[in-house]
Chains A and B, each alone.
Chain A
Amino acid sequence: MTMTAVTEEIKTEKAAANGPSGKTLWLLAPGVLWMLLFLVLPLAMMLYVSFWTQTTFKIEPTLTLKSWITFFTSDTYLGALWTTVRIWLIVLAATVVVGYPAALFVGLFVKNKTLQTVLLVLCVIPFWTSFLIRVLAWRPMLGKEGAINMILMKIGIISQPIEVLLFSELSVIIGMTQIYCVFMVGPIAFMLGRIDPSIIEAAKDLGAGFWRIFRTIILPLSMPGVVVGAIFVSVMVLGEFATSAALSGRKVNLLGNIIVTQVGSLKWAFAAVAGVVLTILMGAVVAALLRVVDLRKEL
């Protein structure tokens, strides 16, 4: 008799999938309206303004391609585009390399659920400090008289402080890797935690060594986690400007920094062009990653 109930319940659950009813429409309207007005409209405006005419201090709604031509002929802007892509790729690779082994340990090797939770919570706790403070915290670490140089000199590995540690591309990469690698660790550990331990046991019984098990079972099953993590990290790194502003001493200019300085000098049209380029870049990256994995299914 329970079977009866179950099948009938499934049937009633499959409610008719027709258009949103009146009540649903009212529930959705505020949220959708909010997003259209304050998210879609601003983005559309950015695209529109990128074709306006820029004079020294203001913009006029006369359509022109001038800002676009300036952007793609200027070494500064193209350099920023290239720097953005380079930093993004390096940080992405670094978060995978740094994060994967930790995720492997937490997700697969720690069998004790409590310890697993404690480790994951430990990874999240730094988020309770302001993002900007976490970025700033790297200055006393990496500086010429910073903690790292001091320790290295104390134990006699170096005699002169390493100056390239701070206010360089390296410091930006180190900072971003530390801040964003948790977004890589989380999804990978989640995926690894879902692997049925009996599969690995079975492979062991068949005489497979660790590397073989890793290559044939663990790595493929954790790939969706890597991709989801890559989406998080990419979206955040591509939109960055604060870390480079704080740790590069103006040496590293990302597209985000270009937008900030252009807005600062009221060059709205140029800022808009940089914004559109950044949007396209990000859209392409996310679309490519989403082709690999269905985000809605994995969450």
Chain B
Amino acid sequence: MSAVLQLSNVVKTYGDLRALDGIELSLPEDSYVSLLGPSGSGKTTLLRVIAGFEQPESGAIRFSGKDVSNTPPHERNIGFVFQNFALFPHLSVYDNIAFGLVNRAVDPVTDMKLLDRKVRDMISLVGLAGLEGRATTQISGGQKQRVALARTLVTEPQMVLLDEPLGALDANLRARMRSELRMIRERCGVTFLHVTGSETEALAMGDTVLVLDRARIAQQGDSDTIYNRPCSPAVARFLNCYNLFSGKMADGGFATAQGLLGFQGHPQRAADPAYAIRYDRVDIRPAGAAATADEVQIEGTFIASEYTGSAVNAFFSLDDGKVFEVEAHLSHRAPENYEPHRRYALAWKREDALVFA
């Protein structure tokens, strides 16, 4: 697969703040890419630089083989879907969708029949049939989202940037729009770059997931790699499914406030050393239970648990006050009841631990 978009060493600053600090990036053609980052990591800035709304201080942006660093936004052929949708409030749903085709600088559609066919095809693709004549103030959030998407897709951009496109929708609608977005993208065959702050959304939607941390790309890979082998403690922390211990390498393990924790294999290279164990790899046992040789075991006091339907998340307080989370999938075993303020042993296999040093 060839790259449709390449960024090399892109830097963008606001005064003293480095919003983008040497971004290196290459996105494949015809794929769904999600960009995951905590707040303030520069995700929106990155999208705005790619779209051309902001000029980076340095670095090159190559889009489908051409350097577009100095190309104005309207000549880039990159679509943009805003979080607040930014529909044209003075135009109807139909006219919002027809707007780009009629008014674009390159190759505007003047044939009314062709225009009407394209617009109506798009309206049925995104499921807005019957709402053509509505004002943008007279449709629901999900429908606005579809108009915003349809308006962009009908102009056949080579790539579409989506800035937290589901952020303004309620949870129910969000889940439905996820699969619809993927479906619509597959039918159009263009690359989507979807920015989100939600790790579940990023992992669920992206063929490729990019993780942005402190103005740099921290990791790029498929969902499985990102989830199972985060390349740094920061990525692991942001995935929200790892217990992390800071400490340093020692003989026969990793030294932390909980004592020496064992692991297998070679530690990954990272700036700040840490020991990570996934929530769902931990076994809860009565205090004082024996551990096997290939296991690591620590003790904690049970605080509370949270039922999510398919799993139960249990929270323990370790001796230094740190909160330790365990996720038990209910398909594996029936939910157990733990007593508050009782101590339990928490055990996991050495091979499941990830170590960064």
Contact = CB atoms under 8 A, between A and B. Distances in A.
Are A and B in direct contact (Cβ within 8 Å)? yes
A113 to B, nearest CB: 23
Q: How many B residues touch the partner, as a band?
A: 20 to 34
B15 A9 contact: no
Contact of A4 (B17, B19, B38, B48): B38
Contact of A14 (B14, B38, B42, B168): B14
A9 B198 contact: no
Given A4-B197, A7-B39, A12 B167 contact: no
Interface in A1-42: 1-5, 7-9, 11-12, 14-17
Nearest to A14: B14
B54 A12 contact: yes
B45 A3 contact: no
A105 to B, nearest CB: 37
Contact of A11 (B14, B38, B83, B197): B14
Nearest to B19: A11
Nearest to A17: B15
Chain A at the B interface: SS class? helix
Contact of B167 (A1, A7, A15, A17): A1
Given A1-B164, A1-B167, A4-B164, A11 B17 contact: yes
Interface string B42-53: 111100100000
Interface in B65-122: 83
Interface in B11-50: 13-15, 17, 19, 38-40, 42-45, 48
Interface in A247-297: none
Given A12-B54, A16-B15, A5 B198 contact: no
Nearest to B166: A1
B38 A12 contact: no
Chain B at the A interface: SS class? loop
A7 B40 contact: yes
A24 to B, nearest CB: 14
B136 interface: no
B44 A12 contact: yes
Interface in A75-101: none
Contacts of A2: 167-168
Contact of B39 (A3, A12, A15, A16): A3
Contacts, number: 46
B222 to A, nearest CB: 23
A7 B45 CA distance: 12
B196 interface: yes
A292 B40 CA distance: 39
B40 A11 contact: yes
A43 to B, nearest CB: 37
Contacts of B42: 8
Nearest to B38: A4
A3 B38 CA distance: 10
Contact of A8 (B13, B43, B168): B43
A11 B45 contact: yes
B309 to A, nearest CB: 21
A114 B83 CA distance: 36
Nearest to A3: B39
A8 B43 CA distance: 8
Contacts of A16: 13-15
A5 B196 contact: no
A3 B40 CA distance: 10
B13 to A, nearest CB: 8
Nearest to A18: B15
Contacts of A7: 39-40
Contacts of A11: 14, 17, 19, 40, 44-45
B15 A5 contact: no
Contacts of B44: 5, 8-9, 11-12
Contact of B40 (A8, A14, A15, A17): A8
Most buried by A among B39, B45, B198: B39
Contacts of A14: 14-15
A9 B44 CA distance: 8
Contact of B198 (A1, A8, A12): A1
Contacts of B196: 1
Most buried by A among B14, B167, B168: B14
Nearest to A8: B44
Interface in A97-123: none
B178 to A, nearest CB: 14
A4 B168 CA distance: 12
B175 to A, nearest CB: 14
A2 B40 CA distance: 12
A28 to B, nearest CB: 20
Contacts of A15: 14
B87 to A, nearest CB: 17
A13 to B, nearest CB: 10
Interface in B290-318: none
B14 A5 contact: no
Contacts of A17: 15
Given A4-B167, A16-B15, 4 more contacts: A4-B164, A5-B83, A11-B17, A12-B44
What 10 pairs across the A-B complex have the smallest Cβ distances? Answer: A4-B39, A4-B197, A8-B44, A1-B197, A7-B39, A1-B167, A5-B83, A5-B164, A7-B40, A5-B167
22 contacts: A1-B167, A1-B197, A1-B198, A2-B167, A2-B168, A3-B39, A4-B38, A4-B39, A5-B164, A5-B167, A8-B39, A8-B40, A8-B42, A8-B43, A9-B44, A11-B17, A11-B19, A12-B54, A14-B15, A15-B14, A16-B13, A16-B14
Interface of A: 1-5, 7-9, 11-12, 14-17
Interface of B: 13-15, 17, 19, 38-40, 42-45, 48, 54, 83, 164, 167-168, 196-198
